[in-house]
Amino acid sequence: MYYKKYAVMALVLVVCFTNYVAAWETEKITCTGKVVDAQGQPVTGAKVGLYTLIVSMDTLSFDVELSRQVTTKDDGTFAFETVAESNEFRNQTVILADKEGLALGWANWYLDKDLDVQITLGRPMVLAGQVVDESGEPVINAEVSISVMSMTGGDEPRYIAGKISEQLFSCKTNPAGKFQFERIPPDAAAEFIAKKAGLATVGTLDESNSGGMQPQFNAGRKDIEIKLPVEAKIEGMVVEKDTGKPVPGVKLVVFEEQHQMFSGREPLISREDGTFSIGALCPGKQIVRVVPKQEGPADWVAQPVEVAVEAGRTITGVKVQLSEGGMVEVSVTELDDDTLIGGASVNIQDMVSKEQFSGGTDNDGIMRKRLAPGEYQLTSVYKQDYRYEHQKETFTLEDGKTNRVVVQLRGYPKVAGTVRDENGRPVAGARLRVCPMGRGEAASDREGRFEVRRETPDRDPEVVPYVVARHIERNLAAAVEIEEDARLVDVKMTTGVVLAGKVIDVDGKPVENAQIYLTFWSLNYGTRWSVKRVRRTQRDVMKSRPYLSIMSIPSTPAQMDTARITFALLPAML
């Protein structure tokens, strides 16, 4: 049972300058933002594009497509609405802001939650350098592009990479081998790809440097040198392992032992006679791999082929041998009733090479993967609202055989009910979650019905969970205690409380671009609910108006007392 005398329910405002990441369940999500210049003034008429990144871990590459483009209003604001996406390879986007005369600016948006963001377009800077060959002579008409660039001046680094950065920043070297990129953000750093026919394609990204996520060339550098050695080549054939018969139409990709990401190389296809030729390679160890199909099990599998290459030489006779391999079928079911679970992410690791393979269960709750014979380990299974409690399981695959693995996930308890207003009418579009120990957010439907999940209380049986509901547009709110193991909770919403104020530093000066977190506490467990970014205008400053307001807070005396006390102490926390 719950011990109510220990339950403390409070709403706390916390000022923070870092992003909070939470997995919220929602069908529609919104990005609202503002584009400003270096002085914080709104930028009117800036083009803001929403670019969707499609990540391929098999080729370590990004495809990109422009989903939508808008223009900022007079106050510099913009907004996008899109559908939430849980697939981690399809839920990454870049919001790119462009205004002639200013540096480019961008932000990253993961499509699992709403985002409120500010993009600063600062003074444009340059990145420049020279491409040379092994003897130090300039390379004319070399293609140079930025492979990855990050900005570090905000709450957290913001990245553009792959094809989006290559499209934005690409040029050819002049007769002196020089290149220059303009409109670089002043707080940015970048890496490059350079290529020229007959020479090796070189990427400057060093993955040993913090996983390649700390680019080395800071904005303003003009002394960058990229050296291109004479290319090495690999020629070979894709064949069936058992018969030696050539296999056409097989997609291949080559990686260096190091610098795998953003290499500038595209996959290639074996010819009608099964042959292939790969050029523009750097000297050293190269690894040729078969690119599996994006959907469903592969038709063939092949062990990666390592080839040592030298500058100016062609290695011939390389064979990529295809076999039927073994099939693994991972069935994911719910522990309580053996219901098959679709949309679960499954990760498998080769016990020898340590290579990772991933996939998702279909609507029948089964993931099928064709892999080369060998020892494997099931490293993780993930589905939102479920918990994976098993130890990592190992299994062996043999040619022509299927290995079936059953995994059971424990679903977090469901809490369902109906949301109504003070007049007993259903409330549609209310946002609800369990606080604390909730498992995502849900919206009530047209009839006011909702369903959310929560963690089991065995972690701390004294914690009292609540269903907290908010409707921002109507300023309605409610907090209803969940009794014992109740699965049905009806929620009555009343007029919510609005907290307004301003954030100041220790000298009493207004602090803009801070983030306000609304946290719901029970005992020692808290759940952050919403994020609001502090903004201000000159009119606000002149008239001493509040710079922020948070609506739809459940109104009980205990909650308000706590919120007021904490809010009053915020300046000392900065």
Better-predicted residue by pLDDT, 262 or 58: 262
pLDDT digits (tens, 9 = 90+) for 223-237: 999 999 999 999 999
Compute the average pLDDT of residues 515-521.
Answer: 70
Q: Once rounded to an integer, what is the mean pLDDT over residues 364-374?
A: 91
Return all residues near 300 (Cβ < 8 A) that are at least 6 apart. Answer: 247, 250, 290, 322, 323, 324, 325, 370
Residue 355 belongs to a domain with what CATH number?
2.60.40.10
Would residue 20 count as lying in a domain?
no
Q: Report pTM.
A: 0.68
> Quick one: pLDDT at residue 387?
79
User: Range with the lowest mean pLDDT among 127-141, 194-208, 299-313, 542-556?
Assistant: 542-556
Asked if residue 462 is part of any domain, the answer here is yes
Contact 448, 428 (CB under 8 A): yes
Contact 322, 399 (CB under 8 A): no
Number of neighbours of residue 299 by Cβ within 10 angstroms: 13
Tokens found for residue 235:
């020629």
**Separation CA 50–CA 95 (nearest Å):** 5
Range in 96-105, 263-272, 444-453 the model is least confident about:
263-272
Q: How confident is the model at residue 366 (pLDDT cuts 50, 70, 90)?
A: very high
What is the distance between the alpha carbons of residues 246 and 232, in angstroms, rounded to a whole number?
24
Show the CA angle centred on residue 197, arms to residues 192 and 201, nearest 5°. 30
Q: Are 444 and 388 part of one and the same domain? A: no
Contact 515, 155 (CB under 8 A): yes
Q: Give the Å distances, CA to CA, from 77 to 72, 80, 398, 542.
A: 5, 11, 58, 22
Residue 21 lies in a domain: no
Decide if pLDDT at 210 tops 60: no
The answer to whether residues 7 and 558 touch, using CB atoms and an 8 Å cutoff, is no
Q: Does residue 498 belong to any structural domain of this protein?
A: yes
- Is-contact 453 439, C-beta < 8 A? yes
The overall average pLDDT reported for the chain is: 80
Confidence check: pLDDT of 85 > 80: no
Answer yes or no: are the C-beta atoms of 329 and 354 closer than 8 Å: no
Q: What is the pLDDT of residue 88?
A: 63
**Among residues 137, 57, 65, 126, which one has the least CA distance to residue 94?**
65
Per-residue pLDDT band at 356 (split at 50, 70, 90): confident
The alpha carbon of 539 is separated from its chain's Cα centroid by a whole number of angstroms, namely 37
Considering the domain architecture, whether residues 55 and 146 belong to the same structural domain is answered as: no
pLDDT of 457 reads 53
Per-residue model confidence (pLDDT) at position 520? 74
Last residue of a domain, one of 294, 322, 350: 322
Q: Are residues 269 and 335 in the same domain?
A: no
Q: What is the radius of gyration, based on Cα positions, of the chain?
A: 28
In the predicted structure, residue 263 carries a pLDDT above the cut 90: no
Do residues 542 and 432 share a domain? yes
Closest CA to 407 of 427, 431, 387, 423: 387
Are residue 458 and residue 540 in the same domain, yes or no? yes
Q: Give the dihedral of Cα atoms 206, 354, 295, 321; nearest 10 deg.
A: 100
| Residue in 481, 543, 551 with CA at minimum distance from that of residue 516 | 551
Quick one: pLDDT band at residue 514, thresholds 50, 70, 90?
low
Taking phi over 0 as left and psi of -120 to 50 as alpha, with beta for the rest, 261 belongs to: beta
Residue 273 has pLDDT above 70, yes or no: yes
Q: Which of 80-89, 425-434, 451-460 has the lowest mean pLDDT?
A: 451-460
Cα–Cα distance list, 263 to 180, 193, 394, 409 (Å): 20, 7, 33, 39
Whether the per-residue pLDDT at 536 is higher than 50: the answer is no
How far is the C-alpha of 228 from the C-alpha of 309, rounded, in Å? 15
For the beta carbon of residue 562, count every other beta carbon within 10 angstroms.
18
Distance between CA atoms of residues 298 and 300, nearest Å? 5
Host domain of residue 172: 125-228
Residues 449 and 303 in one domain: no
Which is higher by pLDDT, 479 or 186?
186
Per-residue pLDDT for 271 more than 90?
yes
Q: Report in angstroms the alpha-carbon separations of 144 from 109, 170, 197, 227, 481.
A: 27, 6, 13, 12, 61
Token pair belonging to 24: 């919220």
- Classify residue 193: in a domain, yes or no: yes
347 inside domain: yes
| Six token digits for residue 446 | 């047209």
What pLDDT shows up at residue 15?
39
Determine the average pLDDT of the residues in 543-549: 38
Same domain, yes or no: 431 and 569: yes
- Examine the domain organization and report whether 481 and 539 are in the same domain: yes
144/216 same-domain check: yes
Indicate whether 431 pLDDT > 60.
yes
Domain count across the chain: 5
Question: Where a domain ends, among 284, 301, 322?
Answer: 322
- Between 6 and 107, residue with greater pLDDT: 107
| pLDDT at res. 404 | 93
Q: Does 145 score more than 80 pLDDT?
A: yes
pLDDT band per the 50, 70, 90 thresholds, residue 80 = very high
Q: Which of 177, 205, 228 is the last residue of a domain?
A: 228
pLDDT (mean) for 9-15: 39
When pLDDT is cut at 50, 70 and 90, the band that residue 6 belongs to is very low
Residue 418 shares a structural domain with residue 564 = yes
Mean pLDDT of 349-373: 87
- Considering the domain boundaries, does residue 52 fall inside one? yes
Asked whether residue 459 falls in the same domain as residue 564, the answer is: yes
Q: Omega before 436 cis (within 30°)?
A: yes
Q: Which residues of 342-376 are buried (b: 16+ CB within 10 A; e: fewer)?
A: eebbbebbbeeeeeebbbbbeeebbbebbbbbeeb
**Percent of the chain clearing pLDDT 90 (strictly above):** 40
Specify if 34 maps to a domain: yes
CATH of the domain at 159: 2.60.40.1120
> What is the rounded distance in angstroms from the CA atom of residue 485 to the CA atom of residue 109?
37
Instruction: Identify whether residues 110 and 176 lie together within a single domain.
Output: no
Q: What distance in Å separates the CA atoms of residue 369 and residue 376, rounded to the nearest whole number?
A: 12
33 beta partners: 78, 117
pLDDT higher than 50, residue 34: yes
